[in-house]
Structure 1
Amino acid sequence: MESIGVVVNPIAGMGGRVGLKGTDGNVAEARRRGAEPRAPDRAREALRSLHRRAPDITVYTAAGAMGERAARDAGYDPEVVYDPADANASDTETAATTAADTRAAVRALLERGVDLVFFVGGDGTAVDVAEVLEAAEGETPMLGVPAGVKIYSSVFGVTPADAGRIAAEFDRVEAREVNDIDEDAYREGEVRTELKAVVPVPVAPAVQSSKQVSSGSVDSLAAGFAREVEPGRTYVFGPGSTVGAIEEELGIDPSPLGVDVWRAADRGESEGNAADSTAERGELLARDAAESDILEVLADPVTIVVSPIGGQGFVFGRGNHQISPAVIRRADEVSVVAADEKLDDIDSLRVDTDDEAVDEELRGWLQVRTGRFTTRLVNVV
């Protein structure tokens, strides 16, 4: 590979930690809630990984926050081929670029004959890139650096560093899916996915799979977990139907795709409740919470309860950015739950929290609860 085209969506992922579950159409609200840009740092990490392996490659990109700044920080001297109106905004100011800017930048990259379109964003950005590639009717592959809140498409490296390595080393491509969801429906707890494109993507083990939704029964798992809640302990429940089933078993009305914080009643407060009762046995401290909401109500001891994304294996870093490194550090226990059917399709669990020290602490072999009394040993990589 002689040249690469880089395009960064500077606002991708901003809505995650503040509980918006996406940033499309919600940049102003994300800023109002104190959201900070995520994509620029992930772009730098990916491009530094690329530079270590391919320092002499020609880099074409868009101006400022859409790629130029990250490429220079990584050690490249890029050629700017597109200049968005808000390109000179700093990372902290958050360049308000649009989908139209992304598409225009990709068209400019294709005009330069790049060997790979290397983009930073989420599923919405992937759709914008794929639409231009398909309209061009060429064979230029694309590869994503995951920076969005939700990642349903199979065109992304597992981590930014993985994406940079793949870009430098791949030698063949294969057709893979670009999917997107309706973010408004997603915020209301409903997942509506749609296949948007099929595009060539570099072949590598570290390209993540499309998200698959497991439909297996989790009733026994939920019942077993609920019977063993510790009085006085605070539980941070991640999104998804498996964790939601546990909440329902505890008498909580869960936010299906949000994060809830619940404190089990102290032993004296819960006397008289049968172990399998669906009566409320604690207090819901925060529902559909942003990172700041979670940190505000946490009280030791703390357990985080999450379930891996089907087909991908992520337990942190996809769809649950509200459970940030700061929240994870407050917990003395992380409990991963999943039905056997879901684990059968996952070779390992993955973490991508934006904090390498936290990721390293989470890695290793982990007991995943699969039923009322059963567990499986799965490696977190």
Structure 2
Amino acid sequence: LEEAAGETPMLGVPAGVKIYSSVFGVTPTDAGRIADEFERVEPREVNDIDEAAYREGEVRSELRAIVPVPVAPELQSGKQVSSGSVDSLAAGFAREVEPGRTYVFGPGSTVGAIERELGIDPSPLGVDVWRAGLKAEGTEGDDAASDDTESDGQRGAVLARDAAESDILAVLADPVTIVVSPIGGQGFLFGRGNHQISPAVIRRADDIEVVADDEKLDGIDTLHIDTDDAEIDERLEGWLQVRTGRFTTRMVPVA
């Protein structure tokens, strides 16, 4: 990458689901604005996630290059990949699970910590669906039975693991809570990194729980929604309560 860049500025246009580098604009539109309006460049890191480690539950990025990047700080930023402890947050969430409620757990290490607290083996890059208070005998397949969990006296079972949108919709039963954590630095809740949680899935939920530790939120001024569904994006705008610890929350704007 460094050889390819040389003295030529590089700018990333977000098109995939995992963005970990400050060479990217927040949206394709912002990338176009940066390319048109920038007046200076700065050396920025190009990072890539170690997916083998991520699938084992460890969030670790690797530095691939340092390249000159057109700069507009309000329009671009890199993802934070701190592996700081979220044990307190996870323990607090697990104590409050509602028997009979279906939980859609998004990807990422923060949500994964909650799943592990509940006795679930999480899919770090995928979406899992779990119902609190559901005995494993009510599910099909050995995989579901092996994920029978116990937390604060409540039994639960995994209904779908590493699920596609169709898998999620097939097993949802009211009431439904979606649990997500924003992409650090970029601050996306939906539309980046969790396309499986589609507008159709969001419409089925009566509750959305956003979780993030203070370190991640300190790098995010505003949360973003980019579902390609204007009605959903508009509905979720405003101020949102984010759970940051066992008993603590913060209000963060969504735009």
TM-score, length-scaled by structure 2: 0.83
Residue of 196, 200, 206 corresponding to 1:332: 206
Secondary structure of 2:75's match? coil
**Tell me, which stretches of 5 or more residues in structure 1 are unaligned?**
1-129, 267-275
Residue of 142, 159, 172 corresponding to 2:10: 142
Distance 1:185 1:223, change over 3 A: closer
Deviation at 1:211, TM superposition (A): 1.8
| Residue aligning to 1:158 | 26
| Residue aligning to 1:321 | 195
Is residue 2:219 matched to residue 1:345? Answer: yes
Residue of 180, 202, 206 corresponding to 2:70: 202
Distance 1:145 1:355, change over 3 A: farther
| Residue aligning to 1:290 | 164
Distance 1:153 1:207 in 2: 13
Is residue 2:83 matched to residue 1:212? Answer: no
Distance 1:233 1:214, change over 3 A: same
| Residue aligning to 1:133 | 4
Deviation at 1:257, TM superposition (A): 2.6
Figure out how many residues of one structure are paired with residues of the other and give that number: 241
Residue of 231, 247, 254 corresponding to 1:357: 231
Query: Would the aligned equivalents of 1:177 and 1:199 in 2 still touch at CA under 8 Å?
Result: yes
- Aligned residues: CA RMSD: 2.5
Distance 1:356 1:142 in 2: 31
Deviation at 1:365, TM superposition (A): 0.7
Distance 1:254 1:186 in 2: 11
- Identity across the alignment (%): 82
TM-score, length-scaled by structure 1: 0.58
Residue of 255, 278, 289 corresponding to 2:123: 255
**Tell me, which stretches of 5 or more residues in structure 2 are unaligned?**
135-149
Secondary structure of 1:166's match? helix
Distance 1:204 1:356, change over 3 A: farther
Query: Would the aligned equivalents of 1:250 and 1:280 in 2 still touch at CA under 8 Å?
Result: no
Q: Name the aligned partner's letter for residue 157 of structure 2.
A: E
- Higher RCO by CA contacts (8 Å cutoff, separation 6 or greater): 2
Secondary structure of 2:17's match? coil
Distance 1:311 1:294, change over 3 A: same
Q: Name the aligned partner's letter for residue 231 of structure 1.
A: P
Query: Would the aligned equivalents of 1:306 and 1:336 in 2 still touch at CA under 8 Å?
Result: yes
